[in-house]
């Protein structure tokens, strides 16, 4: 009955993965990712739950609306990109070598 033993190992591993995924789901909203523009005029922080936590804009950035909008967009995209990458890496960690490609944001 080697097959039954293998099945039990698979089921135990699945439960382990499920517990790790649940823990990650709880940790995710607490995670934060920050980014700033090259000149430091804008800094943003987003959460692992893809919410904007804070935005800081230097007064001199307010003089050029188009530049401000562009830089803010770049900073937000960078911070969200960091959050997305961290999620993907963690999901690869959780799924191990199973070859499961779980969807992320």
Which pLDDT tens digit goes with each residue over 52-102? 999 999 999 999 999 999 999 999 999 999 999 988 888 888 777 555 555
CATH of the domain at 24: 3.30.1310.10
pTM for the whole thing?
0.71
- Report if residue 101 sits inside a domain: no
- Report if residue 65 sits inside a domain: yes
Rounded CA Rg of the chain: 20
- Report if residue 36 sits inside a domain: yes
Residue 16 has which token pair?
């382990």
The pLDDT value recorded for residue 1 is 47
Rounded Cα–Cα distance for residues 16 and 96 (Å): 11
How many domains is the chain partitioned into structurally?
Answer: 1
Residue 2, pLDDT above cutoff 60: no
The pLDDT value recorded for residue 103 is 52
Nearest to 95 by CA among 18, 11, 28: 18
The pLDDT value recorded for residue 71 is 95
Rounded Cα–Cα distance for residues 86 and 81 (Å): 9
- Report if residue 46 sits inside a domain: yes
Who contacts 88 (Cβ-Cβ below 8 Å, separation ≥6)? 104
26-40 per-position pLDDT tens digit: 888 899 999 999 899
- Report if residue 13 sits inside a domain: yes
Q: Which domain holds residue 69?
A: 2-96
């Amino acid at each position: 009955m080697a097959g039954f033993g293998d099945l039990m190992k698979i089921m135990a591993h699945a439960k382990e993965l499920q517990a790790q995924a649940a823990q990650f789901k709880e940790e995710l909203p607490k995670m934060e990712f920050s980014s700033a523009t090259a000149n430091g005029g804008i800094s943003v922080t987003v959460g692992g739950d893809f919410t904007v936590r804070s935005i800081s804009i230097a007064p001199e950035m307010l003089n050029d609306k188009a530049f401000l909008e562009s830089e803010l967009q770049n900073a937000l995209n960078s911070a969200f990109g960091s959050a997305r990458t961290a999620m993907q890496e963690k999901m690869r960690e959780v799924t191990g070598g199973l070859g499961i490609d779980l969807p992320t944001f």
